[in-house]
A and B are shown apart, each in its own frame.
Chain A
Amino acid sequence: MAYEKFNILKSTAVPLPIENIDTDQIIPARFLKATERLGFGDNLFRDWRYSSDNNLNENFVLNNCIYDGKILIAGKNFGSGSSREHAAWAIYDYGFRCVISSFFADIFKNNCLNIGVLPLKVTQEDLDYILELVFENPSLEITVDLMNQKLIIPDKEFQRFFEINSFKKNNLMNGLDDIDYLKNMKDEIINFSNKIPF
């Protein structure tokens, strides 16, 4: 599915300093019944955003109007558990384009990269520092420069290089996905399949 090309992102951020946030929290299983990729953002962090009687939980950060932006900052091991891509869809659909954490679960990370969300890994020390800055100043602007692989906080003269493999970087910058690449390998794949016993 086509997604918005990722180049330079300048945004405020939403802090969520909880560790081990699994994909069941990002989108509970009961919202996976759809047959189309539509409206998952409404149920992003559903059981944290709303109480059991469907009232807004005022204490949850997404319901706190002082925090806003296209960047989500979360505690370590973000996106663990179920492989549901719906979790990445919900994050994208809600409006986030980048998640910053000190550690991402593998399947979730791949899912994000496949749909145009950048999972940006920083050290635990940097994560704690950035969270602190955002709590101090919710209107702090953060810049993610994908081309140069840099995370920048202009006000604080903070700049960090981040890792991403060049193939995925190219995909994100051009709004491509792996299928665009694999389509052109059809004959090579069919030939290869003849060498495989099963």
Chain B
Amino acid sequence: MRRMIGCALALLVLLTGCGGEAAYTADDLRALLDAGLFAGDMEAVDSAVAPLVLGVDAGTVTDCVCYMATNTAASADEAAVLTLTDEAAAQAAEEALRQHLASRLEDSRRYTPAAVPRLEAAVLRRSGNTVLLAVGDPERLEAVVDGLH
């Protein structure tokens, strides 16, 4: 009996592991916005424009929700959830976003020093064929993202 329960538990753990983390969605982005993690006015960016601005291959993006601070000269805050065609595309998008963040950081060191800590604490996560990017409050951002799923 004990053996059967143990096997059932092991099986349950395995199944949970195989299922992986849930994909990121627009609801996750909304939760980040509602958590007050971003400074200034954050406005939605058209889903056709966002991949171009973020440096992601638009041909691999099936859905995109993106918000950016309108005061681009003083704030680098932004948040985006992208859904890609497949996991390989998501991996490529993750790398492209990593380069995007590096470029933003370089710009900020020259022109917007206040944004540097926020960019250094940026969160970039991939789950399945989705990718989440967020630049915001360096003290709280990572914990809030971890609590999404």
A and B assemble together: no
